[in-house]
Amino acid sequence: MIKFFEKAPYAPVDYCYDVEEILYKGKSKFQEIMVIKNPHFGKMLILDEVVQLTERDEFFYHEMLTHIAMYAHPNPKKVIVIGGGDGGVVREVLKHKTVEKVYFVEIDEEVINISKRFFPTVACSIDDPRVEIKIMDGAEFVIKRPHSDIDAVIIDSTDIIGFARSLFTTDFFIAVKNCLTDEGMFVTHTESLHFHKDMVIEIQEILKKVFPLVDLYTAPIATYPGNWWAFAIASKSLSPRKTRRKFDIKTKYYDEEIHQQSFMPASLYEKLMQRKLQW
Amino acid sequence: MLRTFKVEKLHASLIPESTLFKVLRYVDKENIETPSLLIDSTRVKEKVSLIGRHIKNSKVFYAVKANPDIKILKFLNDLKMGFEISSEGELGILSSLHVEPERIISSNPIKSLKFLKLAASYGINYFSYDSADEVDKLSEYVPHCNVYIRLSVPNEGSEWPLSKKFGVEIDAAAALLSYAREKALNPLGITFHVGSQCTNIYNWHIALDKAKVLWNEAEMNGIKLTLLNIGGGYPINYTKNVVSIEAIEKNVNSLIYDNFPKDTEIHIEPGRAVVGDAGILVTTVIGKARRSDEDWLYIDVGVFNGLMESVGGIKYSYIVESYKHTKSKKRWTLAGPSCDSFDVIDKNVALPEPDISNLILILSSGAYTVSYASEFNGFSIPNTILI
């Protein structure tokens, strides 16, 4: 069987997957897009030689990226999803009955098309009437937004050093804060606590200069190098640790208890931020 | 739109992602003048906490010559780092920061009289030497000071050898220790230098073996030594991953433990290892030319205004700003901005093709770059910025 060797630049390990079949290989304006089939994980979406999702375990990432922010909010109506062209986050956001509008901002239209074609269970909500697709740089969309009417901004980007960098600048974070309501939530992935601890800290520190409340939670992701994946969550007034609505959706992993458990214990968080953790 | 850089897996293995992230954020935000040297303060702090950690009874003295920028020295001073200096200029910066004399040593075996006078009045009390004339100078200008003899050791495998200019062999060293005692100095130790950017771990073995022989010989002459200054030499990642500081120190520590008295004081003098890999030079492409089958790339930093070590064989890694949607690379002859044909940084460097005015980041360039630089031909020395 042929093999796919992942080339995540900042991973000290190389993951290697059996390839049953290469279903698609092409180039968009921004990146190389590949879809392969693996006997264990099923279909896998690969951008610039880095695995983005697999049919088997995508829900871990999509649920955890979405529902912490959504349930910490008392009544999320308007949501911006940046990146996540596969549609996984949009699918999760629309599970919340309160949602009236999703701005789905993806820079690479080709990823949406490929996802609709090969990952219908992930892309299933992209065409929902509540979703407005914007094909553009997410940073530009947020920076140009005139009102503070958004309840949650969710970033599902590729690796931070690359063209997703515009979603990690201070200017962008300030723009996010400005577009959020007072109860609004912002969440973004910040790579692995095992392998990219300094990046996790760095982004926490940058966010703390912009938002009054900044926190960190993690989720186990089998197919992202380092596995112990960290998410930075920030808000203007509400603690993201608390759920503010009854758990009323269907999920595979996330629930109220996971919500509490996924945040780091205070002692560990403190040691992390003081750069006292050595690994 | 932000600038697009071609970051490769190799770059990622050489420097921490967070350092590159900070540098890119700085470049994105500030209207940066090039050439500039950006130093990641977090990385410096990390290196400071790493160096000496695995050597018992050790004190660390930053070799100021590696990068004497006052912002860096102030940052290190706040971390209560020691300093190793050679000249009145270096002393001048430290005195402006009110560094206590107890945290300063001088390991240049040949010191100017002017420096000795100033060092003595400042209260510096640790000096290395390797000649009788230096003993005479020290006994006149810094009477009764502590001195340590520079032993010559092999520098094979270090990319920047230092042994030819300095150091004496064991017998001569023993005689010089006795001579220092005769002149009423306090000969208390031995120093050596395995060579800068030393990737050969056995150099420390040989050096410590020789130091041990000298230590015993001194004892037979009635001189009880208490100090071992193991110099610098810890390597950093330029184009490949080198042996880790932790591995070197664990090895050195066990050799010291096996061969020297348990209360021996250890001095370490890193320069490159403290600031080298925390620094990234930000340069601009100023020209491209094709001359008889050779592709030339000209940037605004060269051999004279920052990359002097390239002449001695140090090779750097480069991250190129490029907007070409291709993975192909060209083999470039990389040259500095001056009119001198000596100003060639490297040949056969495989890089993606940038456009004029694009940036090129030079990794691991925090040490021995701006401190070596001149304004030859009117090209400015990179400004050091601590981020």
What is the mean pLDDT of the segment spanning B80-87?
Answer: 97
The size of the A-B interface in CB pairs under 8 A is: 53
Q: In percent, how much of chain B has pLDDT > 70?
A: 98
Q: Name the interface residues of A facing B (CB cutoff 8 Å).
A: 7, 9-10, 12, 27, 29, 137, 160-163, 165-166, 168-171, 191, 196, 198-199, 201-202, 275
Residues A64-94 have pLDDT tens digits of 999 999 999 999 999 999 999 999 999 999 9
Mean pLDDT for chain B overall: 94
**What is the C-alpha separation between B369 and A213, in angstroms, rounded?**
42
pLDDT at site B161: 66
- Per-residue tokens: B333: 């002859």
Report the residue from B4, B20, B25 with minimal CB separation from A163.
B4
pLDDT at site B356: 96
Contact A169 B28 (CB under 8 A): yes
Q: Which of B116, B122, B162 is nearest to B135 (CA)?
A: B116
- Indicate where chain B has its CATH 2.40.37.10 domain(s): 5-39+276-386
CA-based end-to-end distance of chain A: 36
Pairing of the two strands B318-321 and B359-362: antiparallel
- Per-residue tokens: B36: 């500039």
Strand arrangement of the beta sheet that strand B227-229 belongs to:
B104-105, B82-84, B58-63, B265-268, B227-229, B186-191, B146-150, B126-129
- Chain B positions in Cβ-Cβ contact with residue A174 (cut-off 8 Å): none
Q: Does domain B5-39+276-386 have CATH number 2.40.37.10?
A: yes
Q: How far is B247 from chain A (nearest CA, A)?
A: 16
Q: How far is A172 from chain B (nearest CA, A)?
A: 11
Residues A117-155 have pLDDT tens digits of 999 999 999 999 999 999 999 999 999 998 999 999 999
Contact B16 A198 (CB under 8 A): yes
User: Which residue type is seen at A240?
Assistant: P
10 Å Cβ neighbour count for B184?
Answer: 10
Helix A197-208 to helix B17-29 angle (10° resolution) is: 30
DSSP strand E in B210-324: where?
227-229, 265-268, 279-291, 294-299, 318-321
- Indicate where chain B has its CATH 3.20.20.10 domain(s): 52-269
Q: Are A56 and A75 in contact (CB under 8 A)?
A: no
Q: Is residue A156 predicted with pLDDT exceeding 90? A: yes
**What is the C-alpha separation between B261 and A114, in angstroms, rounded?**
69
Respond yes or no: is residue A159 known to be catalytic: no
Q: Is residue B24 predicted with pLDDT exceeding 90? A: yes
Report the residue from A161, A169, A201 with minimal CB separation from B20.
A161
User: Which residue type is seen at A209?
Assistant: K
The domains located in chain A, with CATH, are 2-52 (2.30.140.10), 58-273 (3.40.50.150)
Mean pLDDT for chain A overall: 95
Higher pLDDT, B156 or B255: B255
Q: Are B365 and B318 in contact (CB under 8 A)?
A: no
pLDDT at site B199: 87
Q: Are A206 and B41 in contact (CB under 8 A)?
A: no
pLDDT at site B163: 63
Residues B322-368 have pLDDT tens digits of 887 777 899 999 999 999 999 999 999 999 999 999 999 999 999 99
Alpha carbon distances (Å) from B21 to A46, A162, B382 = 23, 10, 21
Identify the DSSP state of B151: B
Q: In percent, how much of chain A has pLDDT > 70?
A: 100
Residues A5-42 have pLDDT tens digits of 998 888 889 999 999 999 999 999 889 999 999 999 99
Q: Are B109 and B129 in contact (CB under 8 A)?
A: yes
Q: How far is B12 from chain A (nearest CA, A)?
A: 5
pLDDT at site B195: 86
Of B1, B2, B220, B339, which is the active-site residue? B339
What architecture (CATH level 2) is domain B52-269? Answer: Alpha-Beta Barrel (3.20)
Residues A159-178 have pLDDT tens digits of 888 778 899 999 999 999 99
* H-helix segments, chain A: 58-72, 88-93, 109-118, 138-143, 170-179, 197-208, 256-261, 266-273
Write down the ipTM of this complex.
0.85
Q: Which of B226, B225, B317 is nearest to B265 (CA)?
A: B226
Q: Are A69 and A180 in contact (CB under 8 A)?
A: no
Q: How far is B51 from chain A (nearest CA, A)?
A: 15
Q: How far is A270 from chain B (nearest CA, A)?
A: 17
Q: Is residue B156 predicted with pLDDT exceeding 90? A: no
What is the mean pLDDT of the segment spanning A168-191?
Answer: 96
Contact A199 B28 (CB under 8 A): no
**What is the C-alpha separation between B180 and B167, in angstroms, rounded?**
16
What is the mean pLDDT of the segment spanning B122-126?
Answer: 97
Any idea which residue has 């980041």 for tokens? B361
Q: Which of A198, A209, A210 to mutate to test the interface with B (most CBs of B within 10 A)?
A: A198
**What is the C-alpha separation between A191 and A174, in angstroms, rounded?**
21
**What is the C-alpha separation between A240 and A71, in angstroms, rounded?**
8
- Which chain B residue has its CA at the smallest distance from A9's CA? B9
Q: Which of B4, B17, B28 to mutate to test the interface with A (most CBs of A within 10 A)?
A: B17
Any idea which residue has 């503010």 for tokens? A244
Of A156, A159, A198, A255, which is the active-site residue? A156
Taking the model in full, what pTM does it have? 0.89
Task: Give Cα B232 distance to the centre of its chain.
Answer: 8
- Chain B positions in Cβ-Cβ contact with residue A199 (cut-off 8 Å): 17-18, 21
- Which chain A residue has its CA at the smallest distance from B26's CA? A169
Strand arrangement of the beta sheet that strand A150-156 belongs to:
A131-135, A101-106, A78-83, A150-156, A180-192, A228-235, A213-220
- CA angle at residue B155 from B150 to B156, to 5 degrees? 165
Residues B273-295 have pLDDT tens digits of 999 999 999 999 999 999 989 99
- Which chain B residue has its CA at the smallest distance from A13's CA? B13
Q: Answer positive or negative: Cα dihedral of A131, A132, A135, A136.
A: negative
- Which chain B residue has its CA at the smallest distance from A136's CA? B1
From the number of C-beta atoms within 10 Å of its C-beta (0-12, 13-18, 19+), residue A212 rates as exposed
- Per-residue tokens: A174: 């300030």
Identify the DSSP state of B363: S
Q: Is residue B162 predicted with pLDDT exceeding 70? A: no
Among A118-132, B64-78, B194-208, which stretch is predicted with the lowest mean pLDDT? B194-208
